Amino acid sequence: MGTYKVRVTTGNFLLAGTFSSISITLVGTHEESDKKPLDNCGKDFNPGAWIEGYRTLELREGKEYVRAHWREDTFFGYQFLNGVHPVLIRKCTELPCNFPVTPAMVAPSLGESTSLQDELEPSGELVPIAIQLLLPHTRYTLHVNVLARTLLLRRGGVFERGVGSGLEGTKVLMAKGMSCLTYASLCFPDDIQERGVDCIPNYYYRDDGLKIWSAIESFVSGIVRYYYPSDAHVLADCELQAWADEIFNQGFLGNEASGFPSSLQSIPELIKYLTMWIYCCSARHAALNNGQYDLGAWMPNFPATMRNPPPQAKGTTSLESYLDTIPEVNSTSIIIHTLWILSCELGDSRSLGTYPDEHFTAEEPKQLIAAFQGRLAQISQEIQERNKSLPIPYRYLDPHQIENSTSI
C-alpha cells in the first residue's frame, strides 16, 4: 500500500476547467488503484487553479502470475486455451506435411516416454510443440467501432506506431481473417465440435462458454416462441428477413462459403441466429477482450512488435540478443496503455442479461428475463467455485463480468 500526492493543474487557458466528473486511476508496473473522483463543488479545475490532496490508495491484485510464469511451456500452452485467443486451437489428428518440427528436434524436451506422434492425443496439460431483443446487446458498439477506426487503425494510430504488422500488414491480416470467418465458427457448440476440442482438458473457455450459450439459447427460444407462433410468421416478417439478408450481403459480401444464412426459414433457425448474435456481442467478445491487459502487461509474454525475427533454434539466444529483440520502451508504453484501456471496467457497465430499459413489458417475456438472470447467477456461482482451486482463476466468462454488448 502506498500514499501518493497528486497534483492536477489546468494551466491558464481561458475557459479551462470542466463541470464533468473527473477521476484518476494510478497505474503502476504491477498494479493499479481504484478510481478516485477529483471533485469540487461546482466547476473543477478553474483556469490556473489546482487540486492537491493526500489519499491512501489500496492497490488491487496484480499481474504477478504472468511475470513469474511467462517463460514456462505449460503457461504458454494454457494461453491457447484460456488466454485472449482461445478460438483458434484445433484437434490435429496427423502431423501436417509441412510441419517444420521433426521428432529429433523435440526429442530432448519431450523425454523418452512420449513422441510427437503420441502428443497428438490430448493429455493432462497442453504444452506447445511448435430488433428489440437485440438493442441492449448493441449498446455503444457503433461508437466503439468508430473509436477503433479513428484511434487504432488510422494513419499514425496505435497499430502503425506500436504493432509489428503495421497498418498495411494489419489490413492484409484482417482481410484474411474475414475471408475464412464462418457461421459455424461463431455458433459456439458447432465451433467446439468443428475444432475437435470437445474433450481437451482444462479448457475453461469451452466449459463456461457452453453453459452461457445454452442459457442464452433457452432465453431466446422463449422470447422467439412467444412472438412467432409458427415458421410462417418468421418467413412473413419482412424486416427480419431484410436484416438477415443485409448481414449476409453487406457484412459477409454474399460469401456463400461462410455458411451465413441470407434468410431465416424457421423458428429453430431464428433461435440459433439470435443466440449466436447475443453470444458473440457479449460472451465471445469478453473472452477475447478482457484478458488483454492481464496477459499483455508483462510485455515479454506477448510483445506487439519485435526488432529481430524470432530465433529458429532453441538455446541460441542470450540476454543481449533478447534485449535487442523486444520492442523499445516507447512502443511498449503505447501498447500497454491501449491494452489497459481495452481491459478497463466501464463506468456504466451492464452485465449480461440486465435489461434496465424495460423494452419488454408483457408478463411472459419478463418472466423469461428473470429465469435467464437466475441461470446466469447460477453459472457465475459455479465458475467462482471452480476458480477457487485454479492457480489462475478463469474469470473472463463469469456472467457478472461479461458486458451485455461489445462496448470497448
Instruction: Judge whether 392 and 74 are in contact, CB under 8 Å.
Output: no
Instruction: Judge whether 162 and 331 are in contact, CB under 8 Å.
Output: yes
Q: Which three cell numbers stand for residue 26?
A: 494510478
Cβ nearer to Fe ion, comparing 6 with 342:
342
Cβ nearer to Fe ion, comparing 134 with 235:
134
Q: How far is the CB of 197 from Fe ion (least distance, A)?
A: 23
Q: How far is the CB of 280 from Fe ion (least distance, A)?
A: 12
Other C-beta atoms lying within 10 Å of the C-beta of residue 250? 9
Cβ nearer to Fe ion, comparing 223 with 397:
397
Q: How far is the CB of 285 from Fe ion (least distance, A)?
A: 6
Q: How far is the CB of 339 from Fe ion (least distance, A)?
A: 11
Residue 27 forms beta bridges with which residues? 32
Q: Is 134 exposed, middle or buried (0-12, 13-18, 19+ CB in 10 A)?
A: middle
Cβ nearer to Fe ion, comparing 126 with 339:
339
Per-residue DSSP letters for 43-112? Answer: SBS-TT-EEEEEEEEPBPP-SHHHHHHTT-HHHHHHHHHHSS-TT-----SS--TT----HHHHHHHH-T
Q: How far is the CB of 15 from Fe ion (least distance, A)?
A: 34
Three-class secondary structure of residue 133 per DSSP: coil
Chain-centroid distance, C-alpha 407: 11
Which residues lie near Fe ion (CB under 5 A)? Answer: 289
Letter for the amino acid at 59?
A: L
Cβ nearer to Fe ion, comparing 275 with 289:
289
Q: How far is the CB of 80 from Fe ion (least distance, A)?
A: 20
Cβ nearer to Fe ion, comparing 32 with 403:
403
Q: How far is the CB of 286 from Fe ion (least distance, A)?
A: 9
List phi, psi (to 5°) of 362: -70, 155
Secondary structure element (H or E) that encloses residue 367, with its range: helix 363-387
Cβ nearer to Fe ion, comparing 235 with 342:
342
List phi, psi (to 5°) of 160: -70, -35
Cβ nearer to Fe ion, comparing 270 with 295:
295
Three-class secondary structure of residue 235 per DSSP: helix
Q: How far is the CB of 407 from Fe ion (least distance, A)?
A: 8
Q: How far is the CB of 135 from Fe ion (least distance, A)?
A: 19
Give the contacts of 143 (CB within 8 A, at least 6 positions apart): 407
How far apart CA 202 and CA 197 sit, in angstroms, is: 11
Q: Which residue is nearest to Fe ion (CB)?
A: 289
Q: Give me the numbers of helices (H) and strands (E) for the chain, helices first please.
A: 17, 4
Per-residue DSSP letters for 256-305? Answer: GGG---SS--SHHHHHHHHHHHHHIIIIIHHHHHTTHHHHHSSGGGS-S-
Cβ nearer to Fe ion, comparing 221 with 405:
405
